[in-house]
Amino acid sequence: MNKFTIVHLSDPQLSAGRAPQYHQQLPPATKLQHIFDDILERQVAPDLIVISGDLLTAGTSQDYQQLRQYLRQQSARLRAPIQVILGDQDDREAFNEGYLEEPHQPYYAYKQVYQNMDFYFLDSKWEAHKEAGWLDRKQLDWLNKNLHLAPRRRAFLFLHHPLDAPALRGMRYALLQNNRELLAILHGHNIGGIFTGHLHFGASYLVDTTIPVTTVASASTYIDCQDPHRHEVHDATSYNVITIQRGMASVTNHPLLLGQPVIDTITVGNTGFAKHRPRLNPQRRMGNGLPLI
């Protein structure tokens, strides 16, 4: 199998002309452009670029339309397709109308096949809870069906919210809330890795004893969460390069900026899982999952 290279970034949190979140010293759009420029300068030559959520903060349909045009330009410049997924801060209705031009999509989850490998892009945005993530029953059924269609093919998953791990015990309010349901579906399949964002710091760990999870640091800020109830925010820009060969993925981090001053703080009360969760069988249909770029 030939080498397959993915550039993975997350949480650009573009402000679309409004004041950036967390009192950032550099505009989020400038930081995102720095990443694309660095990819070209380093001659990374990716086969795929993935932006795993929190594309815009308080974005309108027009903002998402402009984002799509911008990403088309960068895709042509870098000669690589760009795939995006939704994060907790994205507005699904505005995204559907402005980016997809399909206003009635309940989810934007889809599958792509590259070099006999399956890549799944899941929608973990949970309408009922701003910070935490959730995979709806219909989406899990769709994933289960597709995994069984090619049980021997190596599969890789991208979603916004990380899965639970002992090291993230103090972050459970921000993680995927139905980890067990997802892992039950993945168990026994040929899963090469799960790649997420959301935390604004990098992390690597195993789930279900064998599946590696890698969380990429943010394209906009770094958040120090060592104190579970008081998080410190720094200006930062970072992305990962995922190299897959013979079905094995290795990850290299490329930090471009890490500002030393604390530009904001986040106060957290309850650090546990959300108390109220949606039912596992809501009556919703699955979106078409059309590729973006």
- Mean of the pLDDT values across residues 184-198? 97
Lowest mean pLDDT among 94-103, 220-229, 279-288: 279-288
Rounded CA-CA distance 161/130 in Å is: 12
- 134-146 confidence digits (pLDDT tens): 999 999 999 999 9
Look up the pTM and report it.
Answer: 0.92
Q: Give the pLDDT band of residue 275 (cuts 50, 70, 90).
A: confident
Length of the chain (residues) = 293
User: What is the mean predicted confidence (pLDDT) over 237-243?
Assistant: 98
pLDDT of residue 232: 95
Sorted by where each starts, the structural domains of the chain and their CATH numbers stand as 4-267 (3.60.21.10)
The pLDDT of residue 106 is: 83
The dihedrals phi and psi of 52, each to the nearest 5 degrees, come to -95, 60
- The pLDDT, as a whole number, for residue 279 is 61
- pLDDT bracket for residue 166 (50, 70, 90): very high
pLDDT, average across residues 169-197: 96
Res 291 pLDDT > 60:
no
CA neighbor of 186 nearest in space, from 122, 112, 108: 122
Three-state secondary structure of the chain: CCCEEEEEECCCCECCCCCCHHHCCCCHHHHHHHHHHHHHHCCCCCCEEEEECCCECCCCHHHHHHHHHHHHHHHHHHCCCEEEECCCCCCHHHHHHHHHCCCCCCCCCEEEEECCEEEEECCCECCCCCCCECCCHHHHHHHHHHHHHCCCCEEEEECCCCCCCHHHHHHHHHCECCHHHHHHHHCCCCEEEEEECCCCCCEEEEECCCEEEEECCCCCEEEECCCCCEEEEEEEEEEEEEEEECCEEEEEEEEEEECCCCCEEEECCCCCCCCCCCCCCCCCCCCCCCCCC
CA separation for the pair 152, 190 (Å, rounded): 6
The mean pLDDT of the chain is 91
Tokens 């639970």: give the residue: 164
Judged by phi (left if over 0) then psi (alpha if -120 to 50, else beta), residue 83 lies in: beta
How confident is the model at residue 128, as a pLDDT? Answer: 66
- Which pLDDT value is given to residue 223? 95
Does the pLDDT at position 22 exceed 80? no
pLDDT of residue 15: 87
In this predicted model, which residue has the larger pLDDT, 127 or 51? 51
Specify the pLDDT at position 285: 37
Each residue's pLDDT tens digit, 39-50: 999 999 999 999
Q: What are 237's two structure tokens?
A: 């820009």
Provide φ and ψ at 164, rounded to 5°: -70, 145
What pLDDT band is residue 1 in, cutting at 50, 70 and 90?
low
